[in-house]
Amino acid sequence: MRLSRMGAMFPTRLSFLRTLIRRLAAEKVTVSRPVWDMCKDGFGHAVYSLRLGSHTYSLIAVSTDLPSEMRTDRVIATAWDSAYVLYDGVPDADEITRIRAAAPKQEASRFTERDLILSRANKSVRLFAHVVAALRAGRQPDAAMVRDVGYLMRTTAVYGNGKFGIADRALIDTRPGLEGPFAAEMLTVWLIRHFTHDLVEHVGQGVLDASLKRHLGIGNSTGLGMAPFLVTHPVLLNNWMQARETALARVRAIETLGMAKQTRLKALAMRAAQHLAEWNVPDPLHQSRINTLREDWNAVCETFDFTGRRPLDGAINSVKSHSADVQELTAALMIEPFGEIVDGLAACMADPAFGHGPMPRDTDALRRAIERNFTWALAPDYDDPACCGQFWYVSEAKQEPRLGHRFKESGADLETPLDIGRRIKSLYRDLPVNTVATSDFLQSHPDHALAVARVQMAGQFPYAEIRDNLIASSCLPIDMLRCKLSFFGASKFDPKSDRWTRITLCQGAPLAVDLAQECDDWWLPVFAP
């Protein structure tokens, strides 16, 4: 639960997109397109519908003519190439008219509980134009360009859970197929990907090769707005991590592997090597990290031995001296071929009960719990400027989380309470010498209520806390982003700073036409034209 390791995580078969696609395939879901009202240049609207878990959902996609000077992935944007609503049911003409007017306005509009997810996206202008030109010329686009870019559009937000008036998660969190974390958001992204394929074919007046379509996922630009979620949803974070660690424990306990599984693991290791070879980013520092991982992974692959007793445990132990990048990629690899003992853990990754642990009955119990579970929080000197150099706050203009420099910028008086480590240490210092009931202590020290609640959870939820100082000058939010995005199923991280990144979702994922057959083999996809 250190940031440096969380920032090295890779997607696994427990990632939310993988879980969703397996559910769609199990139900042999079909996608229809009852509405397609687009001009020849691709501006207009479309509706896609599917039935999942006895409910029908529709994606309403609105494509607009966006002037180039207004196209930006920054949160300050007020217009986008396209906007989307995942709708509960099949919208009638009046509802389509309402959504066509509201969706392009995003935050500036308001929505209803029939609107489950709100999103928007911008084109990858260079690739979109190239694919259109190629199709109009009667040929397929350049394979290398498709490989290198990997998406026709990238989303800049996928909003759920009541934002701007859309439905609260409680409306859908028990529905079959959408009960898992972020399932509705992942369904939206998967359908947006289909729309981008249809749109480029419509404008290009041609048909893309299916293998190119599968490689064209959805890009995404994600910034600081996502990072605090892991702190404010500690039980969810615990459940995600515990599912992954349980999966690792299960595969490590496998006594022996048959030849088929050995061959499969080696093939997946080679796929991972090719995926790394196709992962290139503009940032020289991160590209250097990728280059190092490529070299190390190629060397590690030669040493994996899946014969003998407990071979997967041996493989994981064999990389202990390597970087966190190598270790995390190895962990993801070891889980991948064992869906029969792993996939059921996906059902444990939500937090339907908003769990919490038993309250320590008195201040002595509190002290012991802190000393047992929070030594990481007691270590820093939070009075040292280096240990408190940043502060989290919420932007008044965009209602999005931001990170400020405590000694260079104003606003620290509006700090958001993400400084869990500092709060735990403050609580520890204020515990009285004489034992008193926790309730009495909180009555006289109400400012410690949050810290006590985190201590209360620690015993029952061991992965609930990021065990690092989140206000230190050295804190890199990009590590929090990568951790969360890996659980979404993201790949090919492309950091633009330590505060925002581009990623690719659904790359290699099955198309709707693929769902009738076995289609769960797209971990770390590689280009196969």
Residue 16, classed as helix, strand or coil, is: helix
Q: Which amino acid is at 502?
A: R
pLDDT at 357 (0 to 100): 72
pLDDT tens digits for 330-369?
A: 999 999 999 999 999 999 999 877 667 778 899 999 999 9
Pair of tokens at residue 164: 């701007």
356 vs 369: CA distance, rounded Å: 15
pLDDT at 240 (0 to 100): 98
Place of tokens 């065990």: 467
pLDDT at 401 (0 to 100): 87
pLDDT tens digits for 1-46?
A: 999 999 999 999 999 999 999 999 999 999 999 999 999 999 999 9
22 vs 276: CA distance, rounded Å: 25
Pair of tokens at residue 230: 């892991």
343 vs 341: CA distance, rounded Å: 6
481 vs 494: CA distance, rounded Å: 12
pTM of the model: 0.95
Pair of tokens at residue 289: 């990290």
Find the radius of gyration of the CA atoms of the chain: 24
Residue 475, classed as helix, strand or coil, is: coil
pLDDT at 71 (0 to 100): 83
φ, ψ at 98 (rounded to 5°): -60, -45
Contact between 483 and 468 (Cβ < 8 Å)? no
Element (H, E) at 192: helix 183-204
472: nearest Cα among 412, 401, 386: 386
pLDDT at 75 (0 to 100): 66
217 vs 198: CA distance, rounded Å: 13
pLDDT at 264 (0 to 100): 97
Residues of the chain with pLDDT under 50: none
pLDDT at 327 (0 to 100): 98
pLDDT at 354 (0 to 100): 66
pLDDT, averaged across the chain: 95
